[in-house]
Each structure stands twice: as structure tokens, then as C-alpha cells.
């Protein structure tokens, strides 16, 4: 669409504007990368370049300053934990949201509008206020200090959004298509699998990606509900560095680990933006 | 008439058959002798007894079999630094278990002791450590042995988290406990019973930078006699502020005095130095001395705003950037800390042993006025045994392990690596310990030390103190307002646990 | 077999066969009779059963992790629960304590200040700026810019906070100070001396993306003709912004403001990582963070879950009221903002 496209001399203006808008965000990430490969930073300029920080963490062990035996949990273990958390959250979210979304979209049953209203109200509600009670509930369920507990909490709090999105997508699949499949002799399940699902693939991808990123970046619930260091996720490891002086003593290693942690985020950013934006449109707001 | 040709089955025959059967059954049932109910009952009892015996026999057989194959007893231990060099608070259990297992094997007993659990180090701090413990306890997964500060004993004991250890200690008294410093036993008493075993203790000295003092023009002799002067009450808290101010004004340092950046107990020394008391053993209540607190708050306030030697945000800083860093890099003159900090600095590579000797001096915390008594504070950490351990039946074994790690051989590994003080008199001559010049140097401080009280509501008192001091430093409150805040807050929250004196 | 009475009748093999078949038929009829109501139920409700099966998992989750915690938060607020997890009912004492809490007014002030400032500067302000500006430059560049502004939100919180903590270090070698130094502003220790700046910037950067997307979608739905007409009338870019675009995003503006206010009111994750409520005495402490601290972080081991829950209840109540209002006001707008907009 031609919206007063600026070109020529004002092209410079455009460039300037774009740069001013983009730099505050982007520069920090470049800085992160820079730190991870510098020997020492003299102010904002690195003194030299090196790969030693990356080499040091290849075996996954990060020694803790001052102790001879005690170490931070192994990076590979931490990566595994984070991955499991993200995958479980994504998987559960997709399955449960699609089930609920489909039924809310297609079926008529008593309580449907009540549930719809509930979901609409809940999706703007900040789940973080329930932290204390959630802690209590998890304790009672015996899920204290487990990744599963965090997974369940995360899924539950993301569900209203997920259901709303999937319902929207199912709404967009016309009933006629499904009906003709049923008429042609498909069972209900068959129609669902063969006709409906392919059309909501976008929605499924969106929820999957959103769920994965949500679980990957999870911090506050993991921090509150997990005590055992063997279950640490990347977010808690980086937090340990931030508050535990490591980022002061050894910024190179800290930066390398933070970059490792950001890999899926960067990947998704580069290749799956349209799904992300779809989600964010209806997204839960907020900082 | 009824019977037809023989051999043919008629309806009539079938009916007769059925009726006959029914009648016969009924008569038989009614006529059969009933069992004597009493006898029947006894038979039932014997039956269940036999069953019970069989079960017990099975269990014992299983246990014996298990013993033949070898069984493992797992003990879970939680210990915290948060300073990383204190890892032997946990590791010692592994060492002790190893030796114990060798002994057991040689004795032919088919049991192995396994140690599980965690050592928590920075960035996990006391708050999180405690939270984890209570959460685990609620979930039924508390550790068997729980290291904590002795001040927790009041709360833990009053709420059934830990078990009293008097009998256990008595059983092993002659092994090592007789040799513990008597004052340490005071720190584990609550309600007349002993609830924990002391693990270590420390003193909290005032460190100072000798190189900065030299730059101020002090002679070597003056510098070396400073600890002595403090001990004699010749150098007071106000002198401290003066000297610090000199250094700051001369641009030699950025900060005159640095102290801990989170909630803790060091700063209570200043209150003690100003004449305050924390506990009344006669009434069992904690004590709030309004005059002493008034003076303490005033001193801190002046230190920040009149003398300019303490940074207003010192209580919310970062351990490295605002505490270790400035002092070890020579940008601060005084540091109010603990003896374990020496180990931390050297182990982290912030100072070498030579550098430490060259530029760092240490003394008690000064008195508040001429001729007064200097002070220091000790905060013994203690090993407790949880009630859940008792329920699991591993309490005795846990205590045995605790006794083992309390022996000088093991405790010294911890003491030397992390610079904490000995708990037993014989430990002082233990080789590793005796070789550490620093620890013997600071041993004298124990004569001037105080403990914080063992009271379930101590946490609330501590929190109020921290808030008040922090507010006074940041300037959010004046000393008068802060004193007012402390009094009103304590009166409303724990009126029965604290007494106010002038 | 004349003259035979029933008694005298022989029993033949066919008799036996007939008896058995009668029995069989009888049993089948019996079963059918017993089960037929069940079958009717399945026929009628089987359909519904399947439906409920679809919806039950999600409702289960929501009940356990949303509804029940809701109720629990209220209930725990009426106790003095600490880490012994005992339900010591103390009535409304906690709530009275909130009213008398010395620090509550300051923390409430902080919260309102934080919400208002971040909202106007970033969640709404910056979002507007980005969406309007990217609307006037070639679309392929515009979407890249918007994509970049999405980064802070999807970056894990601990990492993003760490980046800013590094940049905000006190010496003049840190990024922020170096940059400001270029403009002649002396270096500051941002976290210690001016913590709100960092807190607001970080939360703002993260929060901008929500408004940005909503506004962009709204802007893109403005019909081409408006622009053409305006250009024909000789309007400059600024005029177009003022008279064409801004009026069209009134509803989205209200929408974003409403949602982001609720979200900012209750968020504390970044503040926790950046300043932990400090430095100093509750300098940057917001209400939600205070509740967290009270319930989980007490040095002497004396935590107050009960009081923390009471504090959280205040937020929960506000949250519920606002959510209900949004539902009423935005119900139809919600329908409009469907998840099928291309970016």
C-alpha cells in the first residue's frame, strides 16, 4: 500500500528514524555477543577477542568461586531441564487448547457460554497474583520441587489465551467443509482429523511456538517452586549469575551462557515471526 | 397310578426330585449342629494370631535376607554457606560416611551409609534456603540433618520441626562433646533442652586497610597497635568515624566504612557496643534498650550524613560491587565483616595470602566510649535433626554422623578452608587448625563475643532492626522516626516476647 | 397322548431344547429391558459425553490452578499462616494491618507511579510512536522494525534484565553512561541513585510490543481512500497522522490502556531481578512485590504467608473487577480483533 512512501532525500530521514527506533533494542544483544567473545572490556570496547569463554563451558561445568568441590549445576543438565519444561508446556497447551477450542466452536452444550465468558475474563487476569495460593496448591498435590508442577501451572495460566486462539481458528473453518466430509462417510473423528485440523495448522503452530517460548523463558514460577539445583532451568542459572556476583567476576562466561539460553528465541525470531505476531495480537499483555 | 413304566422320566418325577432336594436341604440345614459361638470366636482369634505370626516371620526373614545382601541407609543432609568455601559443612558428612562404611565393612555388618542432599551457596541466600526447608518439610521431604543458624532453634523447636538431642548428646558426651567450648552449648539451649549440635562459630572483626592508614601518615607502630587500642577501649566508634572521614576527605578512599549489604546480624554489635542487650535469660524475653538503639541509629545516621563515610545505599548493594570489591581493591578503609571473609577473598582470588598480611588488619569492633568494652558477635551454625528423620527411624544414625563430623579432624577441614573458629578445645591443637595463623590470631575475640537470642520471634525483631537501620542510612527516616518505628512495630507485633528498657 | 395329564407327560429331548430356548429368550429380553434405559441415555447423551470429554481437561486445569487459588488467596488472607502451614484463623486482622502498615502508602505510591509512567511512556506512548512511524515507511522495513521491538518480550526475563544491569553499571565504562557521556551527561550509578529509570525502561521496552501490534493492526485497517483523499486535499504527513490515523485508533488506545494497566499493576518479575525492591527501604517496591517478599523472603525464617495473601487479595480483587469491566466494555471489540490479521 502506498502510504506516502518517502524516498530520495527523505529516504535519509527514514533511515535516521529507523535507526533511532531500532538501536536501543538491538544494541544490547550485540553487546551480549561482544562480551562473550572478549577477553576484557575496557569500558564499552573490548580489549581483545577470544573464544576461551566458550571453550570453558564446553564441558558444561562452571566452578563457583571460592569453593573447591561445589559447582553450579552442569549446563547440559540445565539445558535439558529447560527443554523438557518448554516441550511439555507446548505439547500440553496445544492438545488441551485444541480440544477445548474445538468443542467450544462446534458443539452446543449447556454451560458453553458460561465457559466462554470465564475464559474471556480470565485471559486478561494476571495469574501472578495467585502465586502464594499456587504454592499452597502444589504443596498439597505433592508436586513441590518438581518441573511437572511448574509445567502444570504454566499450562493452566496460558490456557485461556490458547483456547481463545484455537477457538478462533476453528471458527474460521467453515462447517460446510466438515459437513460434506461427514456426508461422504467420514466418522466425526475422521472428519476432524482430515478436514478440520489441516486448516487450523497455523493456529496450532502459533500455540505450539508460543507455548514453547513461554516455557523456555519461564522464571518466576520455577524460582518459587523449585528448590533442588538438579532441576534448575537456564533462567535460574542466569539469575544466579546476576545476583551471585558471577556476572561481575566473569562476564564472559555469563554472556556465553546467556547467549546459549537465547538460541531458540533468536531462531524463532528469525524464522517464525508471523506466528509470534499472531499470538501477540490477542496476547496477554504486559511487561 | 403315579409311576409309569420304570425308566421314563416324567414331569412328575422331576418335580418330586426337586421338592425332595429342597426339603432335604432345609432339614439338613436346620438340624445341623451349630458351632458354639464362643469357641468359634476363639478359633477366629487364633486364626488371626497365626496370620500375624506368619506375617512377622516373613518380615523378619526379609530383613535378615536384606541384611545378608547388604542394605543401604540414606541420610539426607542440607547445609548452607552461603559463602562457597564452607562447602565442607556438607562434604564432611560424605567423608565421615566413607570412614564409617569402612569400619562397618570390617566389622562384617552388611550396612552402607549413603549421604544425599545439597550444599547451598550464593546466590542462594538464607531466605531462600529457609523457604526451601519449610516447603520440603510440608511436603514430607525434609532433610534428616538440617544446618541452620542457632537463632532458628526457638521457632523450629516450638513448632515441632526438630527433635531435642539431650539424650543423644549424653550418649556421646565423652567422645567429643565434653570438649566443646561451654558457651557454645548456651547457643543451642531453648526451654531448658538442647536442640542442636554446634557446627562452628566465628567472630566478626573490624577489618582495616593498613596501606590507607600508612598513606594517612600513621606509623607502622601505630597501625600495629590499633587492635590493642581497640581492645583497651582507647579507640572508640567515634574515633573510627573521624579516621574514616580523614581518609575520605583526603580522597584516598571512596567509602570510609563498608558493611554487609543484606539483612544479617553484624550490625547488632554496634547496639551492644552502645550498651544494649538482646536477651534477658531470667524472663526469657528479648530486650529492647531504647537509649542504646537511639544512639546506634544516631551513629549510623551521622556516619552517612555528617561524616560521609558510609554510602547511603550500603544496605542494598551487591556483595561484590559494594562490599568485597571496594575493600579488597583498596577503595574502602574499614570493613565490618566476619573472619570467614578472609577465606572468601583468598579463595576467590581477590587477594593473595601475602597481600592480605601486607595490607589488611583486623580488630574487635570498638567500644562506644573511652574505656568501654569492645565487642564482636558470634553466630554459631548448628546441626539439627528433623522430626521427620525420627519418624523415618534414622535419627540415631544421623546423630552418629553429626558426632563424627564434629571431631576435630573433620571440623578443621571446614574451619581452615572457610576461616571459621574451632568448636572444641582440643581442636585448637589439631594440626591443620594449628597451622592456620589467622585462626589462632583471632581466637582472642571469642572472649568479647555475644550471641543473638534463641527465641521463636527473633526473626521479627531482626527484621524491624534491619528496616530501621536501612531507612536511617538511606535518609528515609530520621533517627527519631526510626526509633519510633521500631518501638511501635515491635509493640504491635510481638508485645509478649520483648521487654523495653531505657 | 390321550388321557395323559401334565404329570404323566414324558420329557423328551425336544422338551429340553424348548426349555432352554425359552430361557435364553427370557434372559435376552430381561437384559434388553434392563439396559434399554442405559442405551437411551447413551444415545441421547453420548454426544454430550464426547463433548464434555473435550472440554474437561481444560476445565480441570483452570479449576485447580485458577479458581481454587482464587478462593485460597482470600481464605489464607484471613489466617496468620507462616511456614508451619497451619490455618490459624485471625479474622480481618491482616486487612486492618494493611491499613496501618507504615510502608503501605509508600508502596502504593510506588505502584501507581510505576504503572502510570510506564504506561504513558512506553506501553502506550512508544507503541504509538513505533506503529505510526512504521506505517509511513516502506512495509518491508516497517515489519522488520516491529519485529525487532518484539525481541524484548520474547527474551527470557533474566537475560534481558541482565543486559540492562550491565548497561546501567555505575562506572563510566558501562553502555548507558558511555552513551550519555557522548552527550555530556555525567555518569551515574543508575541502579543505586536512580533505580526507577532502569525499572521503567526495562518494563517499558518489554511492554511496548503489545500496544504496537494492536495499533498497527488498527492502522492497517484504515481504508486506502482516506489517505488518497487526504493527499488530494494537500495534507502533510503530520496532518494525516493527526486527522486520519489518530481518530481511528481511539478504541484500540482505550483497549491497550485498559489491559496494560492491569498487567503493569500486577507484574513484578523484572523489578525483582533488577532491584529487588531496593535500593534502600522499599524504594522501588511495588505492591505485588511486597506481597511476594512478605510471604517468601524473611531473613529470620519468620515468613508471613497469611499477610502476604492478604496483600495479594487486594490485587486479586482489583484484577477481578477490572477483568469484569473489560469483559463488558470490550466484548464486542474482542470479536473484532480476531487472530487472522496479517502483519
Q: What per-residue confidence (pLDDT) applies to C2?
A: 46
Strands (E), chain A: 41-42, 45-46
The answer to whether the CB atoms of C302 and B457 lie below 8 A apart is: yes
In a mutational test of the B interface, the residue from C173, C301, C303 whose CB has the highest number of chain B CBs within 10 Å is: C301
Averaged pLDDT for residues B318-341 = 88
Q: Is residue C70 included in any domain, yes or no?
A: no
A182 in the same domain as A240: yes
Q: Chain C: residue nearest B484 by CA?
A: C102
A99 in the same domain as A132: yes
Q: By the CB < 8 Å criterion, does A132 face chain B? A: no
Residues in chain A with CB shorter than 8 Å from the CB of B317 are none
Coil, strand, or helix at residue B119? strand
Q: What per-residue confidence (pLDDT) applies to A86?
A: 94
The answer to whether the CB atoms of B319 and A228 lie below 8 A apart is: no
Q: Are strands B255-258 and B332-336 parallel, antiparallel or unpaired?
A: parallel
The answer to whether the CB atoms of B136 and A145 lie below 8 A apart is: yes
Q: Is residue A189 included in any domain, yes or no?
A: yes
The answer, yes or no, to whether residue A277 has pLDDT greater than 80, is no
Task: Please give the class, per CATH, of domain B69-202+380-450.
Answer: alpha beta
Averaged pLDDT for residues B60-74 = 74
Averaged pLDDT for residues C83-92 = 84
Q: By the CB < 8 Å criterion, does B459 face chain C? A: yes
Q: Is residue A206 included in any domain, yes or no?
A: yes
> In total, how many domains does chain A have?
2
Q: What per-residue confidence (pLDDT) applies to A284?
A: 38
A242 in the same domain as A208: yes
Would you place residue C46 in the very low, low, confident or very high pLDDT band (cuts 50, 70, 90)? low
Would you place residue C337 in the very low, low, confident or very high pLDDT band (cuts 50, 70, 90)? very low
Averaged pLDDT for residues B58-66 = 73
Averaged pLDDT for residues B99-126 = 87
The rounded Cα C261 to chain-centroid distance in angstroms is 12
Kindly report the average pLDDT of chain B as a whole number. 87
d(CA C106, CA C111): 9
Q: By the CB < 8 Å criterion, does B55 face chain C? A: no
Q: What per-residue confidence (pLDDT) applies to C213?
A: 85
The answer, yes or no, to whether residue C301 has pLDDT greater than 60, is no
Q: What per-residue confidence (pLDDT) applies to C172?
A: 59
A124 in the same domain as A222: yes
**More confidently predicted of B3 and A173:** A173
A194-198, C194-198, C230-234: segment of lowest average pLDDT: A194-198
Q: Is residue A55 included in any domain, yes or no?
A: no
Q: Which chains touch B (3 or more CB pairs under 8 A)?
A: A, C
The alpha helices in B195-313, defined as continuous H runs, are 210-215, 220-232, 237-249, 268-273, 290-305
The answer to whether the CB atoms of A245 and B139 lie below 8 A apart is: no
The answer, yes or no, to whether residue B40 has pLDDT greater than 90, is no
B119 CA to chain A: closest CA distance, Å?
A: 8
Q: By the CB < 8 Å criterion, does A44 face chain B? A: no
A277 in the same domain as A155: yes
B30-34, B379-383, C109-113, C130-134: segment of lowest average pLDDT: B30-34
For the domain that residue A199 is a member of, what is the CATH number? 1.10.3720.10
Give tens-digit pLDDT for A68-93.
777 788 888 999 999 999 999 999 99
Cell digits of residue B345: 577473598
Domain ranges of chain B: 69-202+380-450, 206-377+457-501
- The answer for residues whose C-beta is within 8 angstroms of residue B91's C-beta and 6 or more apart is A69, B119, B413
CA dihedral of residues A103, A109, A111, A116 (deg, nearest 10): 40
In a mutational test of the B interface, the residue from A66, A143, A149 whose CB has the highest number of chain B CBs within 10 Å is: A66
Q: By the CB < 8 Å criterion, does C145 face chain A? A: yes
Give tens-digit pLDDT for B423-482.
888 888 888 888 888 888 888 888 888 888 888 888 889 888 998 998 899 888 899 999
A194 in the same domain as A110: yes
Which residue among B84, B136, B318 places its CB closest to the CB of A64? B84
Would you place residue C38 in the very low, low, confident or very high pLDDT band (cuts 50, 70, 90)? low
Q: What per-residue confidence (pLDDT) applies to A203?
A: 80
Q: What per-residue confidence (pLDDT) applies to C1?
A: 45
d(CA A214, CA A216): 6
Q: What per-residue confidence (pLDDT) applies to A42?
A: 64
Give tens-digit pLDDT for C144-183.
888 888 889 889 999 999 888 888 876 656 777 777 777 7
Task: Please give the class, per CATH, of domain B206-377+457-501.
Answer: alpha beta
Q: What percent of chain B lies above the pLDDT cut of 70?
A: 97
The answer, yes or no, to whether residue B4 has pLDDT greater than 60, is no
Averaged pLDDT for residues B243-261 = 90
Q: Is residue C86 included in any domain, yes or no?
A: no
Q: What per-residue confidence (pLDDT) applies to A83?
A: 94
A137 in the same domain as A239: yes
Q: What per-residue confidence (pLDDT) applies to A223?
A: 87
Averaged pLDDT for residues A202-222 = 88
Which residue among A4, A24, A99 places its CB closest to the CB of C136? A4
The answer to whether the CB atoms of B83 and A228 lie below 8 A apart is: no
The answer to whether the CB atoms of C7 and B11 lie below 8 A apart is: yes
A132 in the same domain as A41: no
The answer, yes or no, to whether residue B94 has pLDDT greater than 90, is yes
Q: What per-residue confidence (pLDDT) applies to A6?
A: 44
Averaged pLDDT for residues C184-207 = 85
In a mutational test of the C interface, the residue from B130, B258, B278 whose CB has the highest number of chain C CBs within 10 Å is: B130
Q: What per-residue confidence (pLDDT) applies to A248?
A: 67
Q: What per-residue confidence (pLDDT) applies to A287?
A: 26
Q: What per-residue confidence (pLDDT) applies to C5?
A: 66
Inter-residue contact B462 to B263 (CB < 8 Å):
yes
Residues in chain A with CB shorter than 8 Å from the CB of C152 are 25
The answer to whether the CB atoms of B138 and C297 lie below 8 A apart is: no
B458 CA to chain C: closest CA distance, Å?
A: 7
The answer, yes or no, to whether residue C258 has pLDDT greater than 50, is yes
Q: What per-residue confidence (pLDDT) applies to B476?
A: 83
Q: By the CB < 8 Å criterion, does A243 face chain B? A: yes
Averaged pLDDT for residues B244-250 = 91
The answer, yes or no, to whether residue C299 has pLDDT greater than 70, is no
d(CA A64, CA B84): 7
Q: By the CB < 8 Å criterion, does C138 face chain A? A: yes
Inter-residue contact A141 to A150 (CB < 8 Å):
no
Check if B69-202+380-450 and B206-377+457-501 are the same fold.
yes
Output the pTM of the full model.
0.80
d(CA A20, CA A13): 11
The answer to whether the CB atoms of A70 and B344 lie below 8 A apart is: no
d(CA C311, CA C290): 8
Kindly report the average pLDDT of chain C as a whole number. 81
Residues in chain C with CB shorter than 8 Å from the CB of B470 are 280-281
Inter-residue contact C173 to A46 (CB < 8 Å):
no
Backbone angles phi, psi at A250, to 5 degrees: -135, 70
Q: Is residue A26 included in any domain, yes or no?
A: yes
- The answer for residues whose C-beta is within 8 angstroms of residue B6's C-beta and 6 or more apart is none
ipTM of this predicted structure: 0.85
Q: Is residue A222 included in any domain, yes or no?
A: yes
Q: Which residue range is the domain that position C324 belongs to?
A: 93-336
The answer, yes or no, to whether residue C19 has pLDDT greater than 80, is yes
Kindly report the average pLDDT of chain A as a whole number. 79
Q: C 6-45 residues with CB below 8 A of A?
A: none
Q: What per-residue confidence (pLDDT) applies to C200?
A: 93
Which residue among C7, C85, C283 places its CB closest to the CB of B138? C85
Averaged pLDDT for residues B406-432 = 89
Which residue among A70, A135, A227 places its CB closest to the CB of B121? A70
The answer, yes or no, to whether residue B143 has pLDDT greater than 80, is yes
Q: What per-residue confidence (pLDDT) applies to C343?
A: 23
Q: Considering only CA atoms, which of A105, A102, A104, A58 is closest in space to residue A260?
A: A58
For the domain that residue C297 is a member of, what is the CATH number? 1.10.3720.10
The answer, yes or no, to whether residue B221 has pLDDT greater than 70, is yes
The answer to whether the CB atoms of B470 and C297 lie below 8 A apart is: no
The answer, yes or no, to whether residue B81 has pLDDT greater than 50, is yes
B73-77, B332-336, B431-435: segment of lowest average pLDDT: B431-435
Apex CA A240: angle with CA A238 and CA A242, to 5°?
70
> In total, how many domains does chain C have?
1
Q: Is residue A180 included in any domain, yes or no?
A: yes
Would you place residue C41 in the very low, low, confident or very high pLDDT band (cuts 50, 70, 90)? low
Backbone angles phi, psi at A21, to 5 degrees: -75, -30
Q: Which residue range is the domain that position A128 belongs to?
A: 75-282
The alpha helices in B317-436, defined as continuous H runs, are 319, 325-328, 340-348, 353-359, 387-392, 395-406, 408-418, 431-435
Q: What per-residue confidence (pLDDT) applies to A44?
A: 67
Q: What per-residue confidence (pLDDT) applies to C47?
A: 66
Q: What count of CB pairs under 8 Å joins A to C?
A: 317
Residue with cell 510512536: C129
Q: C 156-195 residues with CB below 8 A of A?
A: 156-167, 172-175, 178
Averaged pLDDT for residues B236-265 = 90
The rounded Cα C163 to chain-centroid distance in angstroms is 25
d(CA A210, CA B94): 45
Q: Is residue C79 included in any domain, yes or no?
A: no
Q: What percent of chain A lies above the pLDDT cut of 90?
A: 12
B3 CA to chain C: closest CA distance, Å?
A: 8
Q: What percent of chain A lies above the pLDDT cut of 70?
A: 83
Q: What per-residue confidence (pLDDT) applies to C317?
A: 87
Would you place residue A49 in the very low, low, confident or very high pLDDT band (cuts 50, 70, 90)? confident
Q: What per-residue confidence (pLDDT) applies to C170?
A: 65
d(CA B375, CA B239): 15
d(CA C121, CA B300): 38
Which residue among B10, B137, B462 places its CB closest to the CB of C8? B10
Averaged pLDDT for residues B32-57 = 80
The answer to whether the CB atoms of C297 and B128 lie below 8 A apart is: yes
Q: Is residue A3 included in any domain, yes or no?
A: no
d(CA B436, CA B340): 13
Would you place residue A35 in the very low, low, confident or very high pLDDT band (cuts 50, 70, 90)? confident
Q: What per-residue confidence (pLDDT) applies to C9?
A: 72
Amino acid at each position: 500500500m502506498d502510504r506516502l512512501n518517502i524516498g530520495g532525500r527523505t529516504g535519509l530521514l527514514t533511515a535516521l528514524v529507523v535507526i533511532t527506533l531500532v538501536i536501543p533494542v538491538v544494541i544490547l544483544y550485540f553487546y551480549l555477543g561482544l562480551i562473550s567473545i572478549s577477553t576484557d572490556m575496557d569500558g564499552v570496547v573490548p580489549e581483545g577477542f577470544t573464544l576461551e569463554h566458550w571453550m570453558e563451558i564446553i564441558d558444561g561445568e562452571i566452578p563457583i568461586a571460592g569453593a573447591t568441590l561445589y559447582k553450579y549445576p552442569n549446563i547440559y543438565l540445565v539445558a535439558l531441564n529447560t527443554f523438557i519444561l518448554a516441550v511439555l508446556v507446548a505439547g500440553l497447551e496445544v492438545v488441551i487448547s485444541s480440544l477445548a477450542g474445538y468443542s467450544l466452536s462446534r458443539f452446543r452444550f449447556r454451560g458453553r457460554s458460561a465457559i466462554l465468558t470465564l475464559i474471556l475474563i480470565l485471559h486478561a487476569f494476571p495469574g501472578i497474583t495467585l502465586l502464594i495460593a499456587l504454592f499452597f496448591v502444589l504443596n498439597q498435590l505433592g508436586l513441590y520441587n518438581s518441573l511437572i508442577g511448574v509445567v502444570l501451572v504454566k499450562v493452566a495460566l496460558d490456557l485461556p489465551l490458547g483456547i481463545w486462539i484455537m477457538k478462533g481458528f476453528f471458527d474460521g473453518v467453515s462447517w460446510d467443509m466438515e459437513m460434506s466430509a461427514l456426508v461422504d462417510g467420514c466418522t466425526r473423528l475422521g472428519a476432524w482429523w482430515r478436514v478440520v485440523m489441516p486448516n487450523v495448522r497455523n493456529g496450532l503452530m502459533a500455540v505450539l511456538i508460543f507455548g514453547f517460548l513461554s516455557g523456555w523463558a519461564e522464571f518466576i514460577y520455577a524460582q518459587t517452586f523449585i528448590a533442588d539445583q538438579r532441576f534448575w532451568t537456564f533462567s535460574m542459572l542466569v539469575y544466579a549469575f546476576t545476583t551471585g556476583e558471577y556476572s561481575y567476576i566473569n562476564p564472559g562466561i555469563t554472556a556465553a551462557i546467556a547467549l546459549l539460553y537465547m538460541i531458540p528465541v533468536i531462531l524463532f525470531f528469525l524464522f517464525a515471526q508471523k506466528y509470534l505476531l499472531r499470538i501477540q495480537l490477542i496476547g496477554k499483555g504486559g511487561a | 397310578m403315579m409311576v409309569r413304566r420304570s425308566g421314563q422320566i416324567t414331569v412328575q418325577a422331576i418335580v418330586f426330585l426337586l421338592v425332595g432336594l429342597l426339603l432335604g436341604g432345609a432339614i439338613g440345614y436346620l438340624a445341623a449342629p451349630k458351632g458354639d459361638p464362643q469357641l468359634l470366636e476363639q478359633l477366629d482369634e487364633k486364626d488371626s494370631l497365626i496370620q500375624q505370626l506368619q506375617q512377622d516371620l516373613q518380615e523378619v526373614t526379609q530383613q535378615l535376607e536384606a541384611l545378608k545382601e547388604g542394605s543401604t541407609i540414606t541420610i539426607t543432609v542440607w547445609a548452607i554457606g552461603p559463602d562457597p568455601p564452607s562447602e565442607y559443612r556438607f562434604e564432611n558428612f560424605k567423608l565421615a560416611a566413607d570412614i564409617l562404611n569402612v569400619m562397618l565393612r570390617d566389622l562384617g555388618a552388611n550396612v552402607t551409609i549413603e549421604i544425599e542432599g545439597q550444599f547451598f551457596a550464593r546466590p542462594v541466600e538464607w531466605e531462600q534456603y529457609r523457604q526451601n526447608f519449610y516447603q520440603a518439610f510440608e511436603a514430607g521431604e525434609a532433610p534428616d540433618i538440617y544446618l541452620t543458624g542457632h537463632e532458628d532453634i526457638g521457632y523450629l523447636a516450638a513448632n515441632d520441626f526438630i527433635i531435642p538431642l539431650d539424650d543423644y548428646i549424653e550418649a556421646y558426651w565423652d567422645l567429643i562433646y565434653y570438649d566443646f567450648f561451654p558457651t557454645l552449648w548456651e547457643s543451642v539451649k531453648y526451654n531448658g533442652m538442647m536442640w542442636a549440635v554446634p557446627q562452628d562459630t566465628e567472630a566478626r572483626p573490624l577489618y582495616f586497610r593498613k596501606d590507607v592508614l600508612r598513606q594517612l601518615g600513621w606509623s607502622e607502630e601505630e597501625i600495629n597497635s590499633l587492635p590493642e587500642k581497640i581492645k583497651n577501649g582507647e579507640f572508640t566508634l567515634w574515633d573510627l568515624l573521624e579516621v574514616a572521614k580523614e581518609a575520605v576527605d583526603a580522597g584516598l578512599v571512596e567509602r570510609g566504612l563498608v558493611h554487609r549489604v543484606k539483612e544479617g546480624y553484624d550490625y547488632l554489635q554496634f547496639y551492644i557496643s552502645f550498651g544494649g542487650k538482646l536477651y534477658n535469660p531470667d524472663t526469657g524475653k528479648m530486650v529492647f534498650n531504647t537509649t542504646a538503639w537511639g544512639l546506634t541509629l544516631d551513629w549510623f545516621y551521622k556516619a552517612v550524613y555528617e561524616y560521609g563515610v558510609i554510602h547511603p545505599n550500603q544496605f542494598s548493594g551487591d556483595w561484590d560491587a559494594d562490599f568485597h570489591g571496594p575493600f579488597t581493591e583498596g577503595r574502602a578503609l574499614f570493613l565490618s565483616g566476619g573472619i570467614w571473609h578472609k577465606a572468601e577473598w583468598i579463595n576467590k582470588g581477590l587477594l593473595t595470602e601475602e597481600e592480605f598480611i601486607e595490607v589488611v588488619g583486623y580488630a574487635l569492633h570498638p567500644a562506644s566510649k573511652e574505656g568501654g568494652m569492645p565487642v564482636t558477635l558470634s553466630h554459631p551454625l548448628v546441626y539439627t535433626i528433623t522430626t521427620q528423620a525420627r519418624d523415618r527411624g534414622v535419627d540415631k544414625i544421623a546423630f552418629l554422623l553429626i558426632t563424627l563430623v564434629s571431631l576435630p579432624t573433620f571440623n578443621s577441614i571446614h574451619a581452615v578452608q572457610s576461616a571459621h573458629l574451632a568448636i572444641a578445645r582440643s581442636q585448637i591443637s589439631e594440626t591443620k587448625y594449628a597451622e592456620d595463623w589467622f585462626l589462632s590470631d583471632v581466637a582472642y575475640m571469642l572472649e568479647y563475643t555475644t550471641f543473638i537470642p534463641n527465641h521463636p520471634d527473633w526473626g521479627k525483631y531482626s527484621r524491624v532492626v534491619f528496616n530501621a537501620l536501612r531507612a536511617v542510612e538511606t535518609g528515609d527516616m530520621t533517627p527519631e522516626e526510626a526509633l519510633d518505628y521500631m518501638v511501635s512495630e515491635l509493640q504491635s507485633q510481638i508485645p509478649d516476647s520483648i521487654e523495653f528498657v531505657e | 397322548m390321550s388321557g395323559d395329564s401334565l404329570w404323566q407327560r414324558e420329557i423328551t429331548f425336544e422338551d429340553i431344547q424348548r426349555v432352554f430356548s425359552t430361557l435364553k429368550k427370557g434372559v435376552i429380553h430381561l437384559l434388553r429391558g434392563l439396559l434399554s434405559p442405559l442405551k437411551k441415555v447413551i444415545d441421547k447423551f453420548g454426544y454430550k459425553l464426547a463433548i464434555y470429554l473435550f472440554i474437561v481437561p481444560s476445565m480441570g486445569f483452570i479449576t485447580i490452578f485458577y479458581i481454587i487459588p482464587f478462593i485460597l488467596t482470600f481464605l489464607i488472607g484471613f489466617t496468620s499462616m507462616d511456614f508451619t502451614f497451619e490455618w490459624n484463623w485471625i479474622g480481618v486482622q491482616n486487612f486492618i494491618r494493611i491499613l496501618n502498615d507504615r510502608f503501605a502508602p509508600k508502596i502504593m505510591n510506588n505502584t501507581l507511579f510505576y504503572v502510570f509512567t510506564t504506561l504513558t511512556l512506553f506501553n502506550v506512548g512508544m507503541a504509538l510512536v513505533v506503529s505510526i512511524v512504521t506505517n509511513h515507511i516502506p512495509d518491508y522495513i516497517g515489519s522488520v522494525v516491529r519485529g525487532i521491538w518484539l525481541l524484548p518480550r520474547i527474551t527470557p526475563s533474566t537475560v534481558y534484565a541482565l543486559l540492562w544491569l550491565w548497561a546501567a553499571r555505575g562506572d563510566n565504562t558501562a553502555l548507558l553512561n558511555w552513551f550519555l557521556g557522548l552527550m555530556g551527561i555525567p555518569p551515574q550509578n543508575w541502579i543505586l541513585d536512580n533505580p526507577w529509570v532502569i525499572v521503567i525502561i526495562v518494563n517499558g521496552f518489554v511492554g511496548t510490543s503489545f500496544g504496537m501490534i494492536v495499533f498497527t493492526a488498527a492502522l492497517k485497517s484504515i481504508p486506502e481512500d482516506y489517505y488518497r483523499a487526504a493527499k488530494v486535499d494537500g495534507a502533510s504527513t503530520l496532518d494525516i497522522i493527526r486527522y486520519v490515523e489518530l481518530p481511528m485508533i481511539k478504541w484500540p488506545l482505550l483497549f491497550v490502556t485498559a489491559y496494560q494497566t492491569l498487567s503493569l499493576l500486577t507484574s513484578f518479575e523484572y523489578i525483582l531481578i533488577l532491584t529487588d525492591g531496593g535500593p534502600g527501604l522499599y524504594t522501588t517496591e511495588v505492591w505485588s512485590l511486597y506481597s511476594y517478599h512478605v510471604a517468601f523472603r524473611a531473613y529470620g525464617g519468620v515468613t508471613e504467608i497469611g499477610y502476604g495473601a492478604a496483600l495479594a487479595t487486594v490485587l486479586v480483587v482489583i484484577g477481578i473487577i477490572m477483568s469484569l469491566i473489560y469483559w463488558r466494555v470490550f466484548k464486542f471489540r474482542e470479536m473484532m480483533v480476531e487472530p487472522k490479521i496479517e502483519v
